[in-house]
């Protein structure tokens, strides 16, 4: 189920708006024609009876104008659409009708779409809306401009540097960890489902098309002819029984993707067969990549283990093992391997054989020229030419056999043809107070934090700390190790509100906040009034002005009443006594 955005020009005429009845007729007619045909579709998928223009120009949910069909997956079509009011491009995924008609599929699809819509992560394609209209079931998603990882790998001529792999996999693993924590399993992790979006000059991977395959049952899969996942990236347990898998199946798929990114090959021999995944060990990574670090190979091969319990148990564990290795090692040098000539051809390259071939060619050429009609060049006979050629060949052989003078070793002035990684600069990020370092949309760690990048590269970093304003800074890396201290301005301050005696109830703006001691927080430069109440004490109002450099503890004193007011139970007893004609006195003896 692949969502591959493709740039297309042209927008459908907004004046042409098929009505809801027209939409229903389009899909009903296409479906009816499909039931009367016995020839399989070209792609072999059910539901391929929709034409590419079935929804173009349609207004869905009175706000999404469909423009072009851009992709087709195993369960749905993906269209590019535009929000009529906001003018914002969106991606609309419409499921095949036979899937939308399944009650269980319908229920779980809507349920998972609801969960996905709550995930707010910069590396996950956002789900905006789910709709059901005239028998159509689909969702509205974020539109992502750019290529996917599969297309990007095909365009690359040289091997990808470790730094680029780190740039892609660091946020990707973070996104997968998030969806696993929410109980979702992707089940179809592969390069086409990893979108690469360039934002502010930085590469931002986005994970698309996850969760949908999870709601397919075995019965529905067999009946609809759908493929649960992509065979080359499926785990052994997913091949055996796709219903009996957990999030560790995604770890296996990540291992296949990482193997392919590093080597350009899949971990099994081609042609691919399911038996290889379930029974045969994968090809060692070093077979395709010369000089790959052994620690990195162990990480990849552990992801590809047949037994789920022997793999990394979550994406966070994989990131902890993988990312430091990508930061420590230099990029791999592409290995250019020349195909060796067959032995028979190598024997023909000997000097004496080459001379004989040359003489034979000359004799054939001269003879052919002498026999050719109209030839008028008798000045040199074939015998003389042959003798001259043989003399020159013998002279070359004598020179070759003479002892040669030892040649002086040439000076190594020119740079050797060896790949050298670019110079790397180091930045030690420090802050006051301690802050979290965010870079390229991902949390990196806490200060002091060390970042290494090629010299000349400019990075943008965000420092975040509780009760402080986010600080956005830029840095251009230079040769050497540099330390930089940044100070964050306070946005919120908190102080401990106590009281004498303790246990006073705190009210503010008509809301009960709790009892003292209580930590209260406010924005710098603002004021707030708090009221403290306690039985047998006078209420007291306190006005707090939140300052960046203010007090951290405030302890107002509550004045005790001379005569404490009756409690609820005492008041009830007093009312009962009064009804009986009794006399009520307080603690001071007053009536």
Grouping H, G, I as helix, E, B as strand and the rest as coil, residue 336 is coil
Contact yes or no for 3/193 (Cβ under 8 A): yes
Separation between Cα atoms, residue 453 and residue 585, nearest integer Å = 82
Burial of 510 (0-12, 13-18, 19+ CB in 10 A): exposed
Residue 220: closest CA among 111, 105, 136: 105
Grouping H, G, I as helix, E, B as strand and the rest as coil, residue 299 is helix
Which helix (H) or strand (E) segment is 425 a member of? strand 424-432
Q: CB within 8 A of 29, min separation 6: which ones? A: none
DSSP strand pairing (480-487 vs 424-432): parallel
Q: Is 21 a catalytic residue?
A: no
Q: CB within 8 A of 547, min separation 6: which ones? A: 493, 524, 525
From the list 13, 21, 174, 188, the catalytic residue is 188
CA distances from 321 to 126, 198, 246, 317, 419 (A): 28, 27, 21, 6, 26
Residue 489: closest CA among 428, 432, 550, 553: 432
DSSP string, 340-398: PPPHHHHHHTSHHHHHHHHHHHHHHHHHHHHHSTT----SS-HHHHHHHHHHHHHHHHH
DSSP strand pairing (553-554 vs 492-497): parallel
By annotation, the residues acting in catalysis are 188
């Amino acid at each position: 189920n692949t969502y591959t955005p493709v740039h297309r020009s042209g927008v459908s005429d907004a004046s042409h708006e098929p009505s809801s009845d027209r939409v229903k007729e389009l899909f009903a007619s296409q479906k009816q024609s499909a039931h009367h045909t016995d020839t399989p579709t070209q792609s072999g998928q059910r539901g391929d009876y929709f034409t590419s223009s079935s929804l173009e120009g349609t207004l869905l949910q009175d706000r999404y104008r469909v423009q072009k069909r851009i992709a087709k997956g195993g369960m749905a079509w993906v269209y590019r659409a535009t929000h009529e009011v906001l003018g914002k491009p969106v991606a609309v995924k419409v499921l095949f009708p036979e899937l939308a008609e399944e009650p269980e599929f319908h229920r779980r699809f809507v349920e998972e779409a609801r969960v996905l819509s709550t995930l707010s992560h910069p590396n996950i394609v956002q789900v905006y809306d789910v709709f059901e209209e005239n028998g159509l079931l689909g969702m509205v998603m974020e539109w992502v401009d750019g290529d996917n990882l599969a297309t990007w790998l095909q365009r690359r001529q040289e091997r990808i540097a470790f730094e680029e792999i780190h740039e892609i996999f660091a946020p990707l693993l973070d996104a997968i960890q998030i969806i696993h924590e929410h109980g979702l399993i992707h089940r179809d992790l592969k390069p086409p489902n990893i979108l690469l979006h360039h934002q502010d000059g930085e590469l931002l991977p986005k994970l698309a098309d996850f969760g949908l395959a999870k709601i397919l049952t075995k019965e529905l899969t067999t009946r609809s002819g759908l493929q649960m996942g992509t065979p080359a990236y499926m785990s052994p347990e997913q091949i055996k029984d796709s219903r009996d898998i957990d999030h560790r199946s995604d770890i296996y798929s990540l291992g296949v993707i990482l193997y392919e990114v590093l080597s350009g090959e899949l971990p099994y021999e081609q042609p691919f067969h399911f038996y290889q995944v379930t029974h045969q060990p994968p090809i060692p990574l070093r077979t395709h990549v010369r000089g790959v670090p052994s620690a990195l190979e162990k990480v990849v091969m552990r992801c590809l283990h047949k037994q789920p319990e022997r793999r990394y148990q979550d994406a966070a564990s994989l990131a902890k093992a993988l990312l430091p290795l990508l930061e420590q090692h230099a990029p791999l040098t592409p290995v250019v391997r020349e195909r060796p000539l067959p032995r028979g051809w190598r024997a023909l390259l000997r000097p004496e054989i080459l001379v004989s071939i040359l003489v034979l060619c000359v004799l054939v050429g001269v003879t052919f020229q002498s026999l050719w009609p109209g030839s008028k060049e008798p000045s040199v006979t074939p015998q003389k030419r042959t003798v001259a050629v043989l003399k020159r060949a013998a002279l070359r052989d004598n020179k070759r056999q003479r002892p040669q003078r030892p040649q002086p070793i040439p000076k190594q002035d020119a740079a050797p043809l060896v790949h050298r990684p670019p110079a790397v600069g180091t930045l030690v990020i420090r802050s006051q107070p301690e802050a979290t370092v965010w870079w390229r949309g991902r949390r990196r760690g806490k200060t002091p934090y060390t970042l290494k990048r090629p010299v000349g590269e400019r990075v943008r970093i965000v420092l975040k700390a509780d009760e402080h304003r986010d600080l956005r800074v830029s840095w251009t890396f230079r040769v050497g190790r540099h330390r930089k201290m940044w100070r964050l301005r306070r946005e919120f301050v908190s102080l401990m509100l106590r009281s004498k005696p303790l246990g006073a109830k705190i009210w503010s703006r008509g809301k009960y906040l709790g009892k003292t001691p209580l930590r209260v927080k406010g924005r710098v430069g603002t004021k707030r009034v708090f009221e403290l109440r306690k039985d047998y004490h006078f209420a007291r109002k306190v006005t707090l002005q939140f300052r960046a450099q203010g007090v951290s503890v405030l302890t107002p004193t509550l004045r005790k009443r001379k005569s404490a007011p009756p409690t609820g139970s005492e008041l009830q007893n007093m009312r009962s006594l009064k009804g009986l004609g009794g006399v009520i006195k307080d603690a001071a003896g007053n009536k």
